[in-house]
Amino acid sequence: MRQAKSRFVSFFAESDQIPEVVHAIDNEVLPRFNQLPHFLGFVGLQSESGSRPEVVGISLWASDLDTSEAASEEFRDEVHRVTGTTPSRKGYDVLRVMVYDGDGELCIDLP
């Protein structure tokens, strides 16, 4: 079995910009990612503190990240347009992911 891959994007945004960032993720990024082969999922995080929180987006892929590069670049361009910041980007090998639903049922288990 191939090892899952992850792309990690982080940036800072003003608190009032967060709704527009989430809108772009929901309406532009995720629909494009869903059409790409090997897409497994996405996690969006926002730090708890400050008027300029850090936002982190983590996309999960079954293998090669090359197919996601164009969509990822468009997302980074949109982040720059909305926030005026340039997001940093890194790729990772996924070592382990486990996610349970609200009923305690295992939804995702990636070794």
Residue 64: give the domain boundaries. 5-110
- What the block records as the tokens of 19 is 């709704």
Beta carbons of 36 and 69 less than 8 angstroms apart? no
- Separation CA 6–CA 8 (nearest Å): 6
Phi (first) and psi of residue 18, to 5 degrees: -60, -45
Beta carbons of 8 and 56 less than 8 angstroms apart? yes
pTM of the model: 0.81
State how many domains the chain has. Answer: 1
CA-based nearest residue to 80, from 55, 61, 58: 55
pLDDT of residue 1 exceeding 70, the answer is: no
pLDDT score recorded for residue 2: 65
Q: What percent of the chain has pLDDT over 90?
A: 25
Average model confidence (pLDDT) for the chain? 86
Place of tokens 């792309």: 7
Q: What is the CATH number of the domain that holds 42?
A: 3.30.70.100
pLDDT tens figures, 49-80: 777 899 999 988 887 677 777 778 888 888 88
